[in-house]
Structure 1
Amino acid sequence: MKKVVQAVRRILNEKHPIRFVMSRILLRFRINLSRTLFFNNKLDVQTYLHASSAAHKLFIGKYDATLDSAVFSKYIEEGHTVFDVGANIGMYTTVAARLSKSGIVYAFEATPQTFSYLLDNVRLNDVKNVYPVYAAVCNEHGLVSFFEHKNSHEQNYISKGDGGTMHVPALKLSNFMDSVGVKSIDFLKIDVEGAELSVLKSLGDYINSVRVVYFEYTNRNSSRFGYDLEEIIQFFQNAGFEIFIPVMQGDLLVIKPFDLTAQMDTRNLLAIKKEEYV
């Protein structure tokens, strides 16, 4: 009885209790709905209510896209080349496509089911400048072991050894850029649950042609891949980048200098080529 009372209290404390219950049921049985949700009203970006944790966070009012959307809007301009590594279901892929307009967005997603959701959302939003790529991005080529989280597609990641739940194709960004003839990247977004440094190393000398990198750093996730914050910061500094922390102050995006000595577990960071920062 105590557990029942606790469960009821949790539901009633939700912003949208009925939607929360619906969400749990839909996710539990992996039911996809054709219903669409607005992710970004200003840019007219929508997403289907797939059986995806990202879509359901939006559905129950727990997806705060304010910071990410502000960063995208500040640094992506018409004609830009954007790489979205860890594109998930494509909500930010579509935002980038709207902003870059005549440019192009390369969207990389490694989980088969999530990749199909990405394709659905690209079609839903009728963006013609998205180049979807079904692959994990890392510093190796071929097949890699991949762990698919049971309850959250946002937490899928490359697994060392054979500890994953599947094998997926993997590529290096340097090889990919050679194959499609891309010479530079204006905006690189990376959200790969700890494999960020491997993605960066896969660029090879192309790291010198990247203007802005937006990525998430989490101590727990990076430790899974054997590196820490200091190592990834050193990588960027060696490549001529400065590191910043983007934060929202009210409705205003503020770019603050990064302090390596500050206590930090999870944080979205910006790496900007020194000559690009204004």
Structure 2
Amino acid sequence: MNRYVAQIPMTIACPEAMEFVVRDVLGGEYEPNLDGSGFTILDIGANVGSFALWASARWPGSRVTSYEPHPGTFDYLKRNTAGRGDITIVNAALFPGSEKKATFLSRYAGDGESGLAAYSGETFVEGAMVESYEVDVIDPASLASADIVKIDIEGGEGDVLAHLDLSGTSLVLLEFQNRRNLDSILATLAADFEIVERIEYSWDPLLSQNDYRTDLAGDVFGRVFALRRGQSRLVRREPVGH
């Protein structure tokens, strides 16, 4: 059986500065080369909805729940997923604990690097984020376990992952902002999951941009994909022949 890439046209509203990010996601940035259908999917840090739309096409019959706290970005998400019965959107952030509100920082609606103030200071210099909002917060421990979990929340991935119920989870797709965050992620996954992809990028080439902290020199960001050992719902299908 040969594997082909289907180019599926999608119309997505987003800020011009985020167009390359949307293209990357729709082009397969989160592709784990694992097939299946009918999954429950958590999309934590949904931004304008590109992952939710990609995942619903990638794994047919799945139901995606997307969490996005920024009010302006949530408007994009609502517009991009309108009429989709398979995508549920929630205007809230995930953060461990009993707090119901938290401060969220951003540069503009749709900003893919916006995040909770609790984490933002690890990446950005003071004053880089010009927008501040009090947003609703949901404790990740309160969520039901999902088949697939994707997290991209600009620094809080390790904390949220550690408090999720992963007992029914087969696949985890994560971004990370620094080595401390990566170490936390790997520690949570170590017992039950195999790392199937780990990509690290150096912060150093980006530090000439004024927004980033210079003490990120020598640190890394990137992504981690992890598959539960012994799971059977997701199937790897290698192409045979040409």
CA distance in 2 between counterparts of 1:200 and 1:246 reads 16
Superposed displacement of residue 150, structure 1: 4.2
Structure 1 counterpart of 2:225: 270
SS in 2 for 1:154: coil
Q: Which residue of 1 aligns with 2:133?
A: 166
CA distance in 2, matches of 1:113, 1:42: 29
Bigger proportion of residues as strand: 1
**Does the 8 Å CA contact 1:76/1:187 hold for their aligned counterparts?**
no
Q: CA deviation at 1:264?
A: 7.3
Gapped regions of structure 2 (runs ≥ 5)? 122-130, 200-217, 237-242
The one-character-per-residue Cα deviations of 1:65-103 (angstroms, maximum 9, x if unpaired) are 4442533xx346321111110010001111112233322
SS at match of 2:48: coil
Higher RCO (CA-CA < 8 Å; seq separation 6+):
2
Instruction: Give 3-state SS (helix, strand or coil) of 1:272's partner.
Output: strand
Partner of 2:18: 54
Q: Given the superposition, is the C-alpha separation of residues 198 and 121 from structure 1 closer, same or farther in structure 2, using an over 3 Å criterion?
A: same
- Residues 143 and 170, structure 1, Cα contact 8 Å, conserved in 2: yes
Which stretch has the larger CA shift, 78-87 or 151-160?
Answer: 151-160
Unaligned runs of 5+ in 1: 1-39, 178-183, 248-262
2:45·2:151 contact (CA, 8 Å) conserved in 1?
yes
Counterpart of 1:135 in structure 2 is 92
Q: Is the 8 A contact 1:79 1:104 kept in 2?
A: yes
Q: Between Structure 1 and Structure 2, whose CA radius of gyration is higher?
A: 1
| Identical pairs, percent | 22
Pick the aligned partner of 1:100 from 59, 66, 69: 59
Deviation of residue 41 (structure 1)? 6.7
Q: C-alpha distance in 1, partners of 2:86/2:197? A: 29
Equivalent position SS for 1:165: strand
Pairwise mapping of residues 108-187 of structure 1 onto structure 2 (< 5 A)?
108-123=67-82, 126-141=83-98, 142-150=100-108, 153-160=111-118, 165-177=132-144, 184-187=145-148
Per the alignment, do residues 266 and 70 of structure 1 end up closer, same or farther by CA in structure 2, a change over 3 Å counting?
same
**Structure 2 equivalent of residue 229 of structure 1:** 182
Residues 231-250 of structure 1 correspond to what in structure 2 (within 5 A)? 231-238=184-191, 240-245=192-197
User: Does the aligned pair in 1 maintain the 2:76–2:110 contact within 8 Å?
Assistant: no
Q: How many residue pairs are counted as aligned between the two chains?
A: 200
Task: State how far apart, in whole Å, the 1-side matches of 2:30 and 2:8 are.
Answer: 10
Contact 1:111 1:168 (C-alpha < 8 Å) held by counterparts: yes
The counterpart of 1:215, out of the listed 164, 168, 174, is: 174
Q: CA deviation at 1:63?
A: 4.1
The alignment's C-alpha RMSD in Å is 3.0
**Structure 1 residues 202 and 231, CA, compared in 2 at 3 Å: closer, same or farther?**
closer
1:137-187 deviations in Å (ceiling 9; x for gaps): 1212410111112486101111129x881110011233132xxxxxx3121
How far does the alpha carbon of each residue in 1:15-55 deviate from its partner, in whole angstroms, 9 at most, with x for none?
Answer: xxxxxxxxxxxxxxxxxxxxxxxxx972332212x336323
Could you list the runs of 4 or more consecutive aligned residues of structure 1 that deviate by over 6 angstroms after TM superposition? none
Contact 1:53 1:154 in 2 (8 A): no
